A and B are shown apart, each in its own frame.
Chain A
Amino acid sequence: MTHPLLSIQGVTKAYPGVVANDTVSFDIQPGEVHALLGENGAGKSTLVKMIYGLVKPDAGRMELHAAPYEPASPHAARNSGIAMVFQHFSLFEALNVAENVALGMEDPPPMATLAERIREVSETYGLPLDPARLVGDLSAGERQRVEIIRCLLQDPNLLIMDEPTSVLTPQEVDILFETLKKLSAEGTAILYISHKLEEIRTLCDAATVLRLGKVVGACNPREKSARELAEMMVGQLLHTPDKGAKETGDVALAVKDLSVASQNPFGTALKDISFEVRRGEVLGIGGVAGNGQDDLLAALSGEMITPAETVRLGHQPVGALGPNDRRRLGILCAPEERLGHAAAPDMSLTENALLTGAIRESLSKNGFLDWARTRGFAETIIEKFDVRTPGPTHAARSLSGGNLQKFVIGREILQRPEVLVVNQPTWGVDAAAAASIRQALLDLATDGAAIIVISQDLDELMEVADRFAALNEGRLSEPRPTQGLTIDEIGLMMGGAHGMEVAHVA
């Protein structure tokens, strides 16, 4: 009789105020590609952290090859043949590829040998990589290759992959899947964490579905429809946003020949970006992480100043204006990073309402603040956008990701923008909140605002955007209507396979 490779039995882990995993049980067979499916906050990350020895379960047990498995640290996990590719990369930007690989290995060979082996493995698996390059200079896709190669060099029995495709173009995803299938054929089991249903249906042999920390189902994903999987995952029927019938008006915002160096040393310079967005229109900007999204937002918000003519609101050049002057004219933004960029974590929601609302909501007079009015504005946001919080005096960081994002987006929408720019509006947000945020963006467009949605979630862009363009190494493709756009065309706009090749393993 054969044992499962890894058996999770009744594992429980509680944090103050939340049970992240509640008596979770499932088995992973050798060579199996096993999906762990669940929404943001369902407890997937906590579970894999326990398997990788980063977190210790409160109760329950794990067995590896039918023997008790209690990793005290990631070192122990790696010694037991378990490797992990992190979602937020566990990489060091100022170190080179070989050094990064060495740090993730238990017994790395001398640097010269290691560099040779990195070349070999990267060749074999079609993941080209130069061991001497600084990781900070690599694209998101290349960084992921570093993580994967680091794992492969240790010949793992189980490879954990946390949301690996969120940083890849569709073409790159196809190639990654080929690599994973080869690995699985060689006997390596893969625990594949995702909330992308179609991917799981094409790749995985088995799936365990988590909801609010509990296992709510196990199935063969190939036998289920994406809709059935979604309902298991979310536990309710999802409301798909309606795109109201609308007419697009005049050009609201025009960017022309925008080229600017990045603000941070490892960032991406923007090169010759030109596009227009009209009133009532939603322009979707896709692209893999790290291709200039943050810098594009900074150039539109006014955090980064550019020659005046490069950005125009209607006919008025605004490129040389700072954030407050642009707000006054009606260009509002919601950056990707909620805590620390869009909102100040330790400040109250009232103070965070002031952060961008001071001008358009007249919250200050001659520099003196009207706290009563500010509080009122915060309360309006909380009410209109269904932000779950006991009140506006609470700190931003006490809110869940979805609630804080609703607050941030609501804060901008309620200021009646002429142009709204959002970056990753539903990243890390639960499905219900994501749906309501998308609906709010569409409603705003229906009311005549021009909207730019920068996102790495292609499904989201297809859902909300009228036209689509992609950022690739700081360049923006020609925007095209989303209607009728195929996934292949989108992938090519995003830069195709970026030199990746199908694995050479037989």
Chain B
Amino acid sequence: MDLSSINPVLLLAALMVASTPILLAAIGELVAEKAGVLNLGVEGMMIIGAICGFAVAVETGNPYLGYIGAAIGGAALSLIFAFLTQYLLSNQVATGLALTLFGLGFSALIGQSYSGIKPPQINDLNIPLLADIPFVGPVLFQHDIMVYFAILLVAVVAYMLTRTRAGLILRAVGESHDAAHALGYKVVLIRVAAIAFGGACAGLGGAYLSLVRVPQWTEGMTAGAGWIALAIVVFASWKPWRVLLGAYLFGGITVLQLNLQAAGVKIPVEYLSMSPYLITILVLVIMSADRGRASLNAPAALGKSFHAAS
């Protein structure tokens, strides 16, 4: 074992990359949940995004088109969920599970001919001047554009939710769909939009896995990332900036355990591999044990179906 082989600069830089897929998926799910929709299909939408992004990028040779394809793919899948839950009023938990099961199967189907290929390369930005700062530069300023896009997205969502009327309406719909309906807001449309946004974000997160993080296509490659994104939303008490914190925490553990594996620590690989899941559970327990006012951030109408009675 050689712990000194772990380079803190590389570790922190890798952390930012490792957290990005979950961050994207989690911020999308946060918006959907703020509108009162519990979509457990994040894993399915991510994997669909992973293959759509990969396929488009390989076919066009342009990774950026790949991201667009992934967002469309994720959103399209989420619209199945939206149609079932918002128009046909199906149970959100069951439908979300169906979305995950279907997404895993369908992605494998599309992805058959894409195994073992390398996707087109995406260059790191190397932000001038900033990238040259010792330590801070390589950690913060030498990443590809999606890393920064994800952070920007968190900022935009945070601003929208707390400072704009659109965000206020979204929160109102998630708080009480009946009251929002009585005031004349189009509950179903707002929710469908929020679901589609969540799907697009999950798709982007998936594509980041297959295009940058891994980078290749394998069946079931999300390996629970979607579920961890769901857990991070709970961890964050539905606050956008805390989603960022949660994603970095999880990314940090993932990267650390990979580094420890590489350094040959005397813990079996399997136990290191399960550590991110165990720590996610631990964090969930700590967050949910607090039944005080902080837990009131959970949207009151989360997971409930809305049908205008009259």
Chain A positions within 8 Å of B, measured between CB atoms, are 15, 46, 49, 53-55, 73-75, 77-78, 86, 88-95, 99, 102-104, 108, 136, 265
Q: Which 3 A-B pairs have the closest CB atoms?
A: A74-B184, A90-B182, A92-B175
Q: Known A89-B179, A94-B175; judge A54-B184 contact (CB<8 A).
A: yes
Within 8 A of A (CB), among B290-310: 293, 295-297, 299-300, 310
User: What chain B residues lie within 8 Å of A104 (beta carbons)?
Assistant: 183
B296 touches which of A54, A73, A89, A265 (Cβ 8 Å): A265
18 additional contacts (CB under 8 A) given A92-B175, A103-B168, A104-B183: A15-B310, A54-B181, A54-B182, A55-B310, A74-B184, A75-B184, A86-B182, A91-B176, A92-B179, A93-B175, A94-B171, A94-B297, A103-B169, A103-B172, A103-B183, A108-B165, A136-B296, A265-B293
What's the Cα separation between A78 and B183 when bound, in Å?
A: 10
A94 touches which of B165, B178, B184, B296 (Cβ 8 Å): B296
Question: Do A93 and B168 touch (CB < 8 A)?
Answer: no
User: What chain B residues lie within 8 Å of A90 (beta carbons)?
Assistant: 178-179, 182-183
User: What chain A residues lie within 8 Å of B299 (beta carbons)?
Assistant: 94
What's the Cα separation between A53 and B310 when bound, in Å?
A: 12
Number of interface residues of B (CB under 8 A): 22
What's the Cα separation between A77 and B185 when bound, in Å?
A: 13
Chain B min CB distance to A452 (Å): 30
Within 8 A of A (CB), among B150-187: 165, 168-169, 171-172, 175-176, 178-185
What's the Cα separation between A91 and B182 when bound, in Å?
A: 10
Question: Could you show 22 A-B contacts with beta carbons less than 8 Å apart?
Answer: A49-B310, A73-B184, A74-B182, A86-B182, A88-B178, A90-B178, A90-B183, A92-B171, A92-B175, A92-B176, A92-B179, A93-B176, A94-B297, A94-B300, A95-B175, A99-B168, A102-B168, A103-B180, A103-B183, A104-B183, A108-B165, A136-B296
Question: Do A91 and B293 touch (CB < 8 A)?
Answer: no
What's the Cα separation between A108 and B169 when bound, in Å?
A: 13
Question: Do A54 and B169 touch (CB < 8 A)?
Answer: no
Q: Which single residue of chain B is at the shortest CB-CB distance from A53? A: B184
What's the Cα separation between A89 and B180 when bound, in Å?
A: 11
What's the Cα separation between A447 and B183 when bound, in Å?
A: 49
Chain A min CB distance to B82 (Å): 22
Q: Known A95-B175, A265-B293; judge A102-B184 contact (CB<8 A).
A: no
Q: Which single residue of chain A is at the shortest CB-CB distance from B173? A: A92
User: What chain A residues lie within 8 Å of B296 (beta carbons)?
Assistant: 94, 136, 265
What's the Cα separation between A53 and B184 when bound, in Å?
A: 8
- Report which residue of B178, B182, B185, B300 has the largest number of chain A beta carbons within 10 angstroms of its beta carbon: B182
User: What chain B residues lie within 8 Å of A108 (beta carbons)?
Assistant: 165
Chain B positions within 8 Å of A, measured between CB atoms, are 165, 168-169, 171-172, 175-176, 178-185, 293, 295-297, 299-300, 310
Question: Do B168 and A54 touch (CB < 8 A)?
Answer: no
User: What chain B residues lie within 8 Å of A15 (beta carbons)?
Assistant: 310
Q: Which single residue of chain A is at the shortest CB-CB distance from B292? A: A265
Question: Do B179 and A46 touch (CB < 8 A)?
Answer: no
User: What chain B residues lie within 8 Å of A89 (beta carbons)?
Assistant: 179
Question: Do A91 and B179 touch (CB < 8 A)?
Answer: yes
What's the Cα separation between A88 and B179 when bound, in Å?
A: 9
User: What chain A residues lie within 8 Å of B297 (beta carbons)?
Assistant: 94
User: What chain B residues lie within 8 Å of A136 (beta carbons)?
Assistant: 296
- Report which residue of B175, B184, B293, B295 has the largest number of chain A beta carbons within 10 angstroms of its beta carbon: B184
User: What chain A residues lie within 8 Å of B180 (beta carbons)?
Assistant: 92, 103
What's the Cα separation between A54 and B182 when bound, in Å?
A: 7
User: What chain B residues lie within 8 Å of A95 (beta carbons)?
Assistant: 168, 171-172, 175
Chain B min CB distance to A498 (Å): 23
User: What chain A residues lie within 8 Å of B172 (beta carbons)?
Assistant: 92, 95, 99, 103
User: What chain A residues lie within 8 Å of B185 (beta carbons)?
Assistant: 103
What's the Cα separation between A72 and B180 when bound, in Å?
A: 16
What's the Cα separation between A99 and B203 when bound, in Å?
A: 33
What's the Cα separation between A284 and B184 when bound, in Å?
A: 39
What's the Cα separation between A73 and B185 when bound, in Å?
A: 9
Chain B min CB distance to A495 (Å): 25
- Report which residue of A95, A99, A103 has the largest number of chain B beta carbons within 10 angstroms of its beta carbon: A103
What's the Cα separation between A100 and B310 when bound, in Å?
A: 23
Chain B min CB distance to A328 (Å): 31
Chain A min CB distance to B3 (Å): 47
Q: Known A93-B176, A108-B165; judge A74-B183 contact (CB<8 A).
A: yes
What's the Cα separation between A15 and B310 when bound, in Å?
A: 9
What's the Cα separation between A219 and B176 when bound, in Å?
A: 39
User: What chain B residues lie within 8 Å of A78 (beta carbons)?
Assistant: 184
Q: Which single residue of chain B is at the shortest CB-CB distance from A84? A: B182
Q: Which single residue of chain B is at the shortest CB-CB distance from A71? A: B184
- Report which residue of A53, A77, A265 has the largest number of chain B beta carbons within 10 angstroms of its beta carbon: A265
Q: Which single residue of chain B is at the shortest CB-CB distance from A99? A: B168
User: What chain B residues lie within 8 Å of A265 (beta carbons)?
Assistant: 293, 295-296
Question: Do A54 and B165 touch (CB < 8 A)?
Answer: no
What's the Cα separation between A102 and B295 when bound, in Å?
A: 25
- Report which residue of B168, B179, B297 has the largest number of chain A beta carbons within 10 angstroms of its beta carbon: B179
User: What chain A residues lie within 8 Å of B310 (beta carbons)?
Assistant: 15, 46, 49, 54-55
- Report which residue of B169, B171, B172 has the largest number of chain A beta carbons within 10 angstroms of its beta carbon: B172
What's the Cα separation between A262 and B300 when bound, in Å?
A: 17
What's the Cα separation between A78 and B185 when bound, in Å?
A: 13
What's the Cα separation between A90 and B296 when bound, in Å?
A: 19
Chain B min CB distance to A3 (Å): 26
Chain B min CB distance to A55 (Å): 5
Chain B min CB distance to A149 (Å): 15
Chain B min CB distance to A56 (Å): 10
What's the Cα separation between A93 and B178 when bound, in Å?
A: 12
User: What chain B residues lie within 8 Å of A54 (beta carbons)?
Assistant: 181-182, 184, 310
Chain B min CB distance to A99 (Å): 6
Q: Which single residue of chain B is at the shortest CB-CB distance from A49? A: B310
What's the Cα separation between A53 and B181 when bound, in Å?
A: 11
What's the Cα separation between A95 and B170 when bound, in Å?
A: 12
User: What chain A residues lie within 8 Å of B179 (beta carbons)?
Assistant: 89-92
Chain B min CB distance to A134 (Å): 9
Chain A min CB distance to B59 (Å): 45
User: What chain B residues lie within 8 Å of A75 (beta carbons)?
Assistant: 184
Q: Which single residue of chain B is at the shortest CB-CB distance from A104? A: B183
Q: Which single residue of chain B is at the shortest CB-CB distance from A76? A: B184
What's the Cα separation between A46 and B165 when bound, in Å?
A: 30
What's the Cα separation between A265 and B300 when bound, in Å?
A: 11
Question: Do B169 and A93 touch (CB < 8 A)?
Answer: no
Chain A min CB distance to B271 (Å): 39
User: What chain B residues lie within 8 Å of A93 (beta carbons)?
Assistant: 175-176, 300
What's the Cα separation between A102 and B175 when bound, in Å?
A: 15
What's the Cα separation between A77 and B310 when bound, in Å?
A: 17
- Report which residue of A92, A99, A104 has the largest number of chain B beta carbons within 10 angstroms of its beta carbon: A92
User: What chain A residues lie within 8 Å of B165 (beta carbons)?
Assistant: 102, 108
Q: Which single residue of chain A is at the shortest CB-CB distance from B168? A: A99
Chain B min CB distance to A250 (Å): 41
User: What chain B residues lie within 8 Å of A91 (beta carbons)?
Assistant: 176, 179
Q: Which single residue of chain A is at the shortest CB-CB distance from B301? A: A92
User: What chain B residues lie within 8 Å of A73 (beta carbons)?
Assistant: 184
